[in-house]
Structure 1
């Protein structure tokens, strides 16, 4: 009870910080606008909600999209309400799901907000993507007999240890989940350790493997590459974070010492950083082109700043090899699978705890190499750019891992509909 009261007090204390992050205008970042009231449970009522599906931001929306589309194909009359926390997530919902669903911003985890949201919309069930768990959400859903399922769930060893510091609180929290579809066996074991009953646990695999590179996307990427980069050797640094772009540019300059015609596609993780990264590149006196301005890089330009949203797979398709961001800083890495699905061999920094299982599989087959050393990363990139056969062999091995693990989407949907 003491921890519960403390949690409520902390929510109110940190509310101004959350509001600042969500609402303060930033260049390149979409704005919530007048819909900010939805975070407090207000806004236009949504009637006859069969399913409330929560995907916090861009990554979760992208992962959830094929699941929602397949669900709608099977049950076209199903009324789905998708919530996101961020405006960038809302943009992705609009772009990828359009009229298939209704979108609202998710309520803050404050009792009045979540109770008002539930009272207004009366969803029959809640599916939450990955690990976005909020104690008050779960408590109110339990009171209203709304079953809560965790989809594509992952629980890193690091996060598990944090929850176990407050084991009593965590046990009560996780016991309220009616179904957890864990990505891997080690995730399932951690959820069980935290209080999810074994009867409510299944290992379904990661639906992020179900990302087939369609023929139309591959052709679009080939056309885009030809128009932008001609015959140049191209590598991509995807989903980079603050403090990481500088390191990537250092690697790029090392690569160019051996391969002076090579070009880097740089894709910052967050849109509000696009202009900051552009300033960083300019401060280094590097010539670059910006995708948002529809600029075509000339032969002297060394960086192509991909400062748009929703085009990651397309940009992977334009490259020969990839660096995966969030790995040279303690973010824990990002999803390697989109690059692997486009047949790209990958390098990354040492921090891979967000995707450790996938990382191990790709390392084992030779499609991924990790190092904290910039020089080593540069050497691997140079080796793959210089050797088409080695690059193709490693890329095909990674694509093989993706194909071997596909099917989680169908398994997850079957489990959710029959629970």
Structure 2
């Protein structure tokens, strides 16, 4: 009954999904002539050893060192990497084009998945984090294609949602051959949802296993000197609709105490770059744009980082980070890139997607949370006024990152069982 309802809902919402994927937006890469790939009709390649699915930009970035290590160990491995979004596809092309073949992920419709599996004949499916599609799991199970979740997380909120549909969700979770959970509480929730304990391994988060930051930091030092000189700089990273206005309120409060300070503003999605630029114009905020390689004038208050794949570089140009998705109920974004660059962090109250990382960084003083914009501005002002305290908090966060590294190797070891 529930399965039939799901198939019906898929057909109803397919036009909306196609609209979201194909309708052109400023700043967003277009699917172009590759749209048949969403229907399982992509160009055929040699039979695939491993199908690795990453949703979008964040998952591609996290998967990059994983794929590099895997190819070092098994150079002959034929890896097919799929993404859902065009921005993820662009990152895959930039970072991994010599190591994998990229295709867009098929829609979760039986004909699309059937065509996809027949065309590429993958021996295994590994999914980064928790992008679960029922028809993918069912058809892979029917064809004896083992499915593993890598770097998997399951928030309490998501767990409750799945439990409300347990008659539908438990059989799907039971089809997973291996789940590499980031943390023990994630593993416990997967077990509650129907994954056998024998199939669960706690590996930690591979997002701690960031590439060596020294080269990026060297670039950032040069770029910061060129663009910003001696100005105090803070960054608002991965902001969502509804957050930018509040970030600008915080900026005004910070500039009352630190009039020469500058905000690097990084919207989460490229299709929002122009929207944020329009907002800055409406509020008469003076700003420069990364995409136009603008020189930053002393009177300009904001540097709009409207580029892709430069988050670590932008973090390296800042003294303190605000991490977005947290002033609106998105659930926050990963603090680890900021922490790996030695930055102390602030965020809003909604960071439930990264609760374990959040707790570790809060406990050592590297992260402060508040729903109140004035409180966030107060912390920013304190750290900007006392750079030594900010440096100590950032160093504590960097220590947390280093202490938790090693998940990548643990994950590769666990996956050998498949």
**Which residue does the alignment assign to 2:122?**
123
- CA contact 2:65–2:211 (8 Å) conserved in 1: no
CA contact (8 A) 1:212 1:341 kept: no
Relative to the length of structure 1, the TM-score reads 0.99
Task: Provide the rounded CA distance (Å) in 2 between the counterparts of 1:383 and 1:18.
Answer: 45
1:243 and 2:234 matched: no
Could you list the per-position Cα deviations for residues 298-320 of structure 1 after superposition, in whole angstroms to 9, with x for gaps in the alignment? 10000000000000000000000
Q: Please list, as runs of the form range in 1=range in 2, the aligned pairs for 1:339-354 lying within 5 A after superposition.
A: 339-354=338-353
* Structure 1 partner of 2:179: 180
Aligned equivalents of 2:295, 2:263: Cα separation in 1: 13
Structure 2 residue 53 is matched with structure 1 residue 51: no
- Distance in 2 (CA, whole Å) between partners of 1:153 and 1:400 is 23
What is the Cα deviation at residue 213 of structure 1? 4.0
Contact 1:213–1:342 (CA under 8 A) maintained in structure 2: no
Indicate the residue corresponding to 1:326 in structure 2. 325
Match of 2:6 in 1: 7
**Matches of 2:211 and 2:122 in 1, distance apart?**
32
Q: RMSD in angstroms over aligned alpha carbons?
A: 0.6
Q: Please name the residue that 1:136 is paired with.
A: 135
Distance in 2 (CA, whole Å) between partners of 1:78 and 1:123 is: 11
What are the superposed Cα offsets for residues 354-373 of structure 1, whole Å, 9 maximum, x if unpaired?
Answer: 00010000000000000000
State the TM-score, normalized to the length of structure 2: 0.99
Looking at structure 1, the residues matched to 372 and 207 of structure 2 have their Cα atoms a distance apart, in angstroms, of 28
Residue number in structure 1 paired with 2:80: 81
Deviation at 1:48, TM superposition (A): 2.1
CA contact (8 A) 1:55 1:129 kept: yes
SS at match of 1:293: coil
CA drift at 1:214: 2.6
Partner residue in 2 for 1:399: 398
Q: Distance in 1 between matches of 2:334 and 2:384?
A: 22
Structure 2 contact 213–340 (Cα < 8 Å) conserved: no
After superposition, residues 249-260 of structure 1 pair within 5 angstroms as: 249-260=248-259
The equivalent residue for 2:60 is 61
Aligned residues: 418
Whole-angstrom CA distance in 2 between matches of 1:320 and 1:91? 29
**2:371 & 2:88 partners in 1: Cα distance?**
31
- Distance in 2 (alpha carbons) for counterparts of 1:122 and 1:98: 21
Kindly indicate whether residue 150 of structure 2 is the aligned counterpart of residue 151 of structure 1: yes
Deviation at residue 47 of structure 1 after TM alignment: 1.3
Cα displacement string for residues 312-332 of structure 1 (whole angstroms, at most 9, x for unaligned residues): 000000000000000000000
Residue 43 of structure 1 and its aligned partner are, at CA, apart by 1.7
- Give the distance between the partners of 2:212 and 2:223, measured in 1 at CA: 15
Secondary structure of residue in 1 paired with 2:237: strand
- Pairs within 5 Å for 1:164-175: 164-175=163-174
Give the Cα separation in 2 of the matches to 1:211 and 1:351.
24
Aligned partners of 2:316, 2:184: CA distance in 1, in Å? 32
Distance 1:55 1:69, change over 3 A: same
SS in 2 for 1:180: strand
- In the TM superposition, residue 129 of structure 1 has moved relative to its aligned partner by 0.4
Matched, 1:91 2:98: no
In 2: Cα distance, 1:169 partner to 1:195 partner? 11
Distance in 2 (CA, whole Å) between partners of 1:131 and 1:43 is: 24
For the residues of structure 2 that align with 1:213 and 1:336, how far apart are their CA atoms?
17
1:18 aligns with 2:13: no
Contact 1:209 1:402 (C-alpha < 8 Å) held by counterparts: yes
- Does the 8 A contact of 2:213 with 2:341 survive in 1? no
Contact 2:232-2:262 within 8 A present in 1 as well:
yes
Give the CA deviation at 1:130.
0.2
Moved >6 Å (runs of 4+): none
- Which residue in 1 is equivalent to 2:110? 111
